[in-house]
């Protein structure tokens, strides 16, 4: 297949000025507060030895993709050593929590000729798997040139893919298998000219995940703070969500002055900005060891791995990512804890999940602060629902079956 104009221009630009990508990778590493000793991984320089034997490379960009990968990881690890790459530090931390013992983690290499070549030469994967997306042209091309089988798993709708169909068709043409969350996604990929026998609609891996783990210390802290009070949680929020969350909570406090908000931002580094914007409210910050009191109106849990405790404590959860450009976050996790899920309207990455849960009465999308406040007011004192069960999709098992021909 001839290289389309856009990828050709990309290859030329990044060959002439690879420092543009290197600088961006370094800036991302610093912004994420990732360990500096691991910065070379982003430049393709491994910080661990490759073990002997077969190796499967699984790329999961950040926390959401790692969650999807977690459903597959035990099956994959039974076949070969599992190398997992992420683009973010939060993804790396989540991978350490949910992936099988013995898995190796590295940061994703930047898409320069030297970094890609160094990464592939060192790790020599027998199979390359990409969860949901985060594909880079040079990496896809080099995998094809090396004859490494590659698959895209749990593909979802993508605005970028719709805007640049020829470029994505070029990158995906060598892939042996693409599994899709919905038939609509499969139809969109077929429109790129990809062979139908390589496209499988197997359901959403996120729907097969078990309920989120519940750290006992966090659960005790949250439930002690919430005892006898109306409580809601805002989880995985981003900057675009924050003003809505804060304004809604201020409005709730006028009628329910003892209301408590458990606030778990997606990135703990947002805690300082959140604290500044909550001036005048009683706020206890968990990372600072500030124990909540009866005067605490916001318990700011700027910590990681405690969402399960929030879902178990608050029967109503606002899930972030729906007011900005993030495309929403996985609503199955709070629903499986029996929580009702609210989100902003821009949930294109999880539109099928929200639609599915809405039918079962577990979700509502809100358009603005006023509708968020109204929804919270009507639900604040309601108890947890029975956990969402749904229908068993067994997407993980179906995906492993589809990969069987390529597993080393």
| The model scores a pTM over 0.85 | no
CA atoms of 49 and 122, how far apart (whole Å): 8
The DSSP secondary-structure symbol of 197 reads G
82, 103 in Cβ contact below 8 A? yes
Q: For helices 165-172 and 137-146, give the axis angle rounded to 10 degrees.
A: 30
46 burial level (CB within 10 Å; 0-12, 13-18, 19+): middle
What confidence score (pLDDT) does residue 210 get? 67
Rounded to whole angstroms, how far apart are CA atoms 331 and 341? 7
pLDDT at 351: 82
SS3 at position 405: coil
Distance CA 361, CA 345 (A): 17
Which pLDDT score, from 0 to 100, does residue 245 have?
Answer: 97
Which residues are registered as beta bridge partners of 178?
152, 199
Residue the block writes with tokens 């798997």: 129
Tell me what pLDDT residue 55 has.
97
Q: Which residue has the tokens 């960009």?
A: 61
Q: Which of 65, 132, 306, 364 is catalytic?
A: 65
Residue with tokens 């360990």: 35
Neighbouring residues of 52: CB distance < 8 A, sequence distance ≥ 6: none
Strand partners, 283: 298
Per-residue model confidence (pLDDT) at position 1 = 63
With H, G, I as helix, E, B as strand and everything else as coil, classify residue 134: coil
For residue 372 the two structure tokens come to: 């968020």
- Which residues sit opposite 105 in a β-bridge? 84
The CB density around residue 48, as the number of other CB atoms within 10 Å, is 12
Looking up tokens 């077969």 gives: 54
The predicted structure's pLDDT at residue 391:
54
What does the alpha-carbon distance between residue 369 and residue 349 come to, in Å, rounded to a whole number? 22
Catalytic annotation on 65? yes
Residue 102 token pair: 């013995």
Tokens 């909540």 found at: 292
| Model pLDDT, residue 85 | 97
Residues whose CB is less than 8 angstroms from the CB of residue 383 and which lie 6 or more positions away in sequence, other chains included: 315
Q: Which of 348, 403, 382, 14 has the alpha carbon at shortest distance from 182? A: 348
What string of pLDDT tens digits covers the 408 residues of the chain? 678 888 899 899 999 999 999 999 999 999 999 999 999 999 999 999 999 999 999 999 988 899 888 888 888 998 899 999 999 998 999 899 888 888 999 999 999 999 999 999 999 999 999 999 889 999 999 999 999 999 999 998 887 888 888 889 999 999 999 999 889 899 999 999 899 999 999 888 887 776 667 888 899 999 999 999 999 999 999 999 999 999 999 999 999 999 999 999 998 989 999 999 999 999 999 999 998 988 999 999 998 889 999 999 999 999 999 999 888 998 988 998 999 999 999 998 788 788 888 988 999 999 999 999 999 999 988 889 998 876 545 788 888 889 988 888
The four Cα atoms 113, 118, 120, 122 give a dihedral, to 10 degrees, of 180
């Amino acid at each position: 297949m001839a290289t389309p104009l856009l990828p050709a221009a990309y290859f030329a630009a990044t060959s002439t000025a690879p420092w543009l990508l290197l600088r961006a990778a370094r800036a991302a590493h610093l912004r994420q507060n990732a360990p500096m000793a691991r910065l070379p991984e982003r430049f393709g320089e491994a910080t661990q030895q490759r073990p002997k034997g077969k190796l499967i490379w699984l790329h999961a960009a950040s926390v959401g993709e790692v969650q999807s990968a977690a459903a597959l990881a035990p099956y994959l690890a039974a076949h070969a050593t599992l190398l997992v790459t992420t683009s973010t530090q939060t993804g790396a931390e989540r991978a350490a929590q949910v992936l099988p013992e013995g898995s190796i983690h590295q940061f994703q290499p930047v898409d320069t000729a030297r970094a890609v070549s160094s990464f592939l030469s060192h790790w020599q994967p027998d199979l390359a798997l990409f969860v949901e997306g985060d594909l880079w042209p040079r990496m896809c091309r080099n995998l094809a040139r090396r004859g490494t089988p590659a698959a895209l798993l749990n593909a979802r709708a993508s605005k970028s893919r719709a805007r640049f169909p020829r470029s994505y068709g070029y990158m995906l043409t060598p892939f042996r298998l693409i599994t899709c969350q919905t038939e609509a996604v499969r139809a969109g990929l077929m429109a790129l000219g990809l062979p139908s026998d390589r496209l499988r609609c197997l359901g959403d891996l996120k729907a097969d995940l078990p309920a989120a783990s519940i750290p006992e210390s966090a659960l005790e802290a949250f439930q002690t703070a919430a005892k006898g009070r109306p409580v809601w949680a805002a989880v995985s929020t981003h900057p675009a969500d924050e003003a809505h969350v804060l304004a809604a909570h201020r409005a709730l406090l006028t009628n329910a002055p003892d209301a408590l908000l458990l606030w778990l931002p997606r990135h703990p580094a947002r805690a300082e900005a959140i604290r500044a914007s909550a001036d005048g409210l009683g706020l206890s910050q968990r990372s600072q060891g500030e124990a909540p009191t009866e005067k605490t109106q916001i318990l700011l849990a700027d910590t990681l791995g405690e969402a399960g405790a929030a879902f178990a404590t608050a029967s109503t959860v606002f899930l972030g990512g729906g007011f900005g450009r993030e495309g929403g976050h996985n609503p199955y996790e709070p629903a499986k804890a029996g929580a009702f899920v609210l989100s902003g309207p821009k949930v294109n990455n999880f539109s099928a999940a929200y639609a599915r849960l809405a039918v079962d009465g577990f979700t509502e999308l809100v358009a603005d602060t006023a509708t968020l406040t109204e929804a919270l007011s009507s639900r604040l004192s309601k108890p947890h629902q029975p956990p969402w069960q749904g229908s068993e999709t067994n997407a993980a098992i179906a995906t492993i079956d589809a990969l069987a021909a390529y597993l080393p």
